[in-house]
Amino acid sequence: MSESDGLPAAPHIKPELSRPFAITRVGAGVRVPVEATATECAALATRMGVLAVHTLTCRFDLSHGEGGAIQATGRLRARVRQNCVVSLEPFESELAEDFAVRFVPAGMESDELDLEAEDEIPYEGTSIDLGEAASEQLALALDPFPRKPGAELPGSVGPHESGAFAALAKLLPPQ
């Protein structure tokens, strides 16, 4: 939607973590670190729906790809506080993930649905936002069903202790 459609343009939302990086600085290849401040971590915790993001660092190794694309490989490290889906108790998690993405000019994204292909992040203008890319990698690294180590469902039973199979097992002769 845009003003040309007779509707107001959508407001531009500033990311919680923004680190614009000029494409001209990529050259033959460059390594760029990104580290979130305490304020940015607090804003990311709200966005990600976790109790806290204590730390977030990301390393990007950038190089030129085909058709104006920028290849990026890297490593994300974060420490977060989440609620366990089983016990509902808060717990700390250490995240460490390697990743590979491609920054592509807006409108040049692939139309093919290939689950094995690297994620594409569209960009406009002459810079890419490594902070927002780091935020997206954090979102992908977070377990959607976080479970505190050692947490078990109350009254957990084995597969043959309840239900239809338990009733059938009772019909079998003792072994």
Residue corresponding to tokens 């694309």? 69
Which residues partner with 100 through β-bridges? Answer: 73
Report which of 94, 93, 10, 19 is spatially closest to residue 60, judged by C-alpha positions: 19
Cα pseudo-dihedral 128, 14, 113, 104, rounded to 10:
-20
How do 90-105 and 70-83 pair as beta strands? antiparallel
**Residue 89 pLDDT > 60, yes or no?**
yes
Handedness of CA 71, 74, 79, 85 (dihedral sign): positive
Q: Mean pLDDT of all residues in the chain?
A: 85
Q: What is the pLDDT of residues 128-140, one digit of tens each?
A: 999 999 999 999 9
Query: Are 15 and 131 in contact, with CB atoms under 8 Å apart?
Result: yes
How do 90-105 and 127-129 pair as beta strands? unpaired
Does 164 or 73 have the greater pLDDT score? 73
Structural domain boundaries, residue 149:
3-171
Per-residue pLDDT band at 163 (split at 50, 70, 90): low
Q: What is the pLDDT of residues 21-60, one digit of tens each?
A: 999 999 889 999 999 999 999 999 999 999 999 999 999 9
State the total domains in the chain: 1
Whether pTM exceeds 0.85: no
**What share of the chain has pLDDT > 90, as a percent?**
58
**Residue 149 pLDDT > 70, yes or no?**
yes
